[in-house]
Amino acid sequence: MSRRKIAVLGATGSVGQSTLDLVAAAPEQFEVVALTAASNVEQLSKDARRFGANLAVIANETLLPELREQLQGTNIQAAAGSSALAEAAAGEAEWVMAAIVGCAGLEPVMAAVEAGKTVALANKEALVTAGHLMTEAATRSGATLLPVDSEHNAIFQCLAGQDREMVARLILTASGGPFRDWSALAMARVTPAQAVAHPNWSMGAKISVDSATMMNKGLELIEAHYLFGVPADRIDIVVHPQSVIHSLVEYEDGSMLAQLGPSDMRVPIAHTLAWPRRMHTAVERLDLLAVARLDFEAPDEQRFPALRLAREALAAGGAATVVLNAANEIAVETFLGGRIHFADIAVTVEAALANMSDPIPQSIADVVELDARARHAATQSLAETVS
């Protein structure tokens, strides 16, 4: 069997590194053709050499000379900037891991989708901001979208071979994050270090903060709506602190199917890497006797207003989810920089949604433009808050 040619967009991040970890353990199955990163030249060039990639792309163009220098003496092509990112996504690879964080991943993901690739989609912000454009493009090009997000991957597995007409509800589980049982008062003043310390998962900083505000679950609600074509009123969120059940599908006959596994992203990533087959992983197995019990709680939208904001944005339609995402990205960045309080994140997003009056974006260019405008507006309103 020939090896599957893969590209990893966002190779230096948490999901990107987990992907490469799986590939390293199965070199007979996969051939890495392209890797990309924002600015970590050292890790990028190290991995490009290690996996014998053909192309290494650094998003930050000022770092191209440094990347070239690091790759001297190899046949690896060094490139930089957005057209090179699109080339990594739409070029030689058959399978593309979309693991760039934020709306910055949108254009490269779309390049892969339009080129008809099998796209393993971790970059949830791309679906949140351009869900309908992306699923339409996939239908046109014949691209396959495989969800990497553990909840959506679980649902994808629970839908396989089933009667889609008979789906009653999707149930997304949420760990509740590090502040699940904290009072609103205690939560208002948490530090970035406390917010990124997730109890069950090890992830990049942005998604860790999103988990702490539960905006992550809000983004996942929108993601699920676009991926599976299920209306928001039939997508429930249940807090499940053990993160053992990764999500469920309820059918009209009363059956509920769930996917369980360890809290290790290598499990859903491996599912997409080998799809439609399966592969072995060295991941530590779930020990049901050690888990012993599974708890479920209703989410608290008072303490976690992000859940309500995401539902409202999805109900309002196209432009609102772009604004929700952009304001959240800026607010999270500002919080991580220590310049606003934790509770200000949701306040910023709510204000951005209240002030928006934009038409539904009709193209990726529209989304990119709206995203830039919404970021600018959120940055300005935060500058006023901080000063």
Contacting residues toward ligand NAD, per CB under 6 A = 10-16, 37-38, 40, 59, 99-101, 104, 122-125, 149, 201, 203-204, 206-207, 265
Half-sphere exposure of 275 (CA within 13 A, CB side): 24
Nearest distance, CB of residue 168 and ligand NAD, angstroms: 25
Nearest distance, CB of residue 253 and ligand NAD, angstroms: 31
Binding-site partner at residue 54 among ligand NAD, Mg ion, none, CB < 5 to 8 Å by type: none
Q: Edge-to-edge strand order for the sheet containing 167-174?
A: 235-239, 167-174, 245-251, 256-260
Binding-site partner at residue 59 among ligand NAD, Mg ion, none, CB < 5 to 8 Å by type: ligand NAD
* Tokens (6 digits) for 304: 């976690």
| Nearer CB in complex with ligand NAD: 149/250 | 149
Nearest distance, CB of residue 109 and ligand NAD, angstroms: 10
Q: Which of residues 185-204 bind Mg ion (CB under 5 A)?
A: none
Q: Are 76 and 48 in contact (CB under 8 A)?
A: yes
Which residues neighbour 368 within 8 Å (Cβ) at sequence distance 6 or greater?
Answer: 103, 106, 107
Find the length of the chain: 387
> Which amino acid type is present at position 83?
S
d(CA 263, CA 243): 6
Contact flag: residue 344 with Mg ion (CB under 5 A):
no
What angle is formed at CA 260 by the lines to CA 255 and CA 263, rounded to 5 degrees? 150
Contact flag: residue 149 with Mg ion (CB under 5 A):
yes
Nearest distance, CB of residue 77 and ligand NAD, angstroms: 17
* Tokens (6 digits) for 204: 């990049």
By beta-carbon distance, which residue lies closest to ligand NAD?
13
Contact flag: residue 210 with Mg ion (CB under 5 A):
no
Binding-site partner at residue 207 among Mg ion, ligand NAD, none, CB < 5 to 8 Å by type: ligand NAD
Nearest distance, CB of residue 209 and Mg ion, angstroms: 14
Q: Are 57 and 79 in contact (CB under 8 A)?
A: yes
d(CA 306, CA 315): 14
Total residues contacting Mg ion by CB under 5 A comes to: 3
Residues of this chain that bind Mg ion (CB under 5 A): 149-151
